[in-house]
Amino acid sequence: MSLNPVIRDWRDRRVWIAGASSGIGHALARLLLERGARVAASARSEERLRALAEEYPGRVVVLPFDVKDLQAWKRSHATLLGEWSAIDQLVVCAAGYRPVRAWELQPEQIRDMVATNVQGAMTGVATVLPGMLARGSGAISLLASVAGYTGLPKALVYGPTKAALINFSEALYLDVHGRGIAVHLVNPGFVDTPLTQQNDFRMPALISTDEAAAEIVRGMERGQFEIHFPRRFTRWLRLLRRLPYPLRFAALAKIAEQP
C-alpha cells in the first residue's frame, strides 16, 4: 500500500541531499542526477561536492556545511532558494557512527552523534518544511537504520539516534501527509560505507552503496513510507523486535559474542 504519492519522473525534480559527499548519500545523488533530477549537494567536504558538480555540469548546487550548525542550514537554504526558488525534496543522509559498548561511553562522542544524527536531521526538516507547507507539496526523506528497531550490540549511541529518527518520521507523517507532503523513512541494513568499515564484526547481507541507492529510489517511486533493505536481513530484524524480551535478549547475546 502506497502511503505517499508515487514518483513517475525525476526530470528537473529539485532534491537537496545532506550528506552527499560519500556513502549512501553520494550514490543516491549520482543516481538521481542520472535520472534527470537537479541536486543540491551538502556535506562538510567541499572538495568531494565540487568533484560531483564537475561530473554533472550545471546540474549540481554545491552547499558545503556541517548539519550540526543551525545557522548554516539557514544560510544554505536561503542560497538554494535563490538558485531554485523552491525545493521539491529534502533527503538527510548525513550521520555519525562509532561502534560503542557500555564501558566505552564518552560524553563528547554522545553529544556529537546525537547532534549530527538527530538534531541535524530535525533542523533540516524545520528549515524546509514551511515552504513546502505553503506550496502544499514536497517530500522529506530521512535515513535512519534498522539499528533503531531494537537495542543492538555496539550500537549503544547510534541505535538510539536512529530510533529517534524512526519516531520522528512517524510523527511527522501524521502531521503533514494530509497537507501534500510525502515522508520517506529509510531503514537500511548493513551497507559498505566509510562508517560501517569501522566495524570489526561480520556484517550479514552487506550491500554496496549503489544497491542501497537503487532500493531507496525504488521505494520512493512506489510511494512507500518505510523503505527497508536488504529484506533478507531486515525481515529477520523486524521479527526479532517483536519477540518477548527474554527471547530477544538471548538471541542478541549470541550475536554479540560473534567475531
pLDDT of residue 202: 80
pLDDT of residue 91: 98
Say which of 56, 97, 149, 158 is annotated catalytic: 158
Domain 14-257 is of which CATH architecture?
3-Layer(aba) Sandwich (3.40)
Which residue, among 138, 123, 137, has the nearest Cα to 76 in the 3D structure? Answer: 123
Contacts of 240 (CB under 8 A, 6+ apart): 149, 150, 248, 251, 252
Cα gap 106→104, rounded to integer Å: 6
Alpha-carbon torsion, ordered 221, 225, 229, 232, to 10 deg? -110
Active site residue 149: no
Say if pTM beats, i.e. exceeds, 0.85: yes
12 exposure class (CB count in 10 Å sphere: 0-12, 13-18, 19+): exposed
pLDDT of residue 256: 66
Q: What is the DSSP string of 160-193?
A: HHHHHHHHHHHHHHHHHGGGTEEEEEEEE--B-S
Residues in the chain: 259
Q: Can you tell me which residue has the cell 547475546?
A: 253
Per-residue pLDDT 10s for the chain (259 aa) are 799 999 999 999 999 999 999 999 999 999 999 999 999 999 999 999 999 999 999 999 999 999 999 999 999 999 999 999 999 999 999 999 999 999 999 999 999 999 999 999 999 999 999 999 999 999 999 999 999 999 988 899 999 999 999 999 999 999 999 999 999 999 999 999 888 888 877 888 999 999 999 999 999 999 999 999 999 999 999 999 999 999 999 988 877 665 4
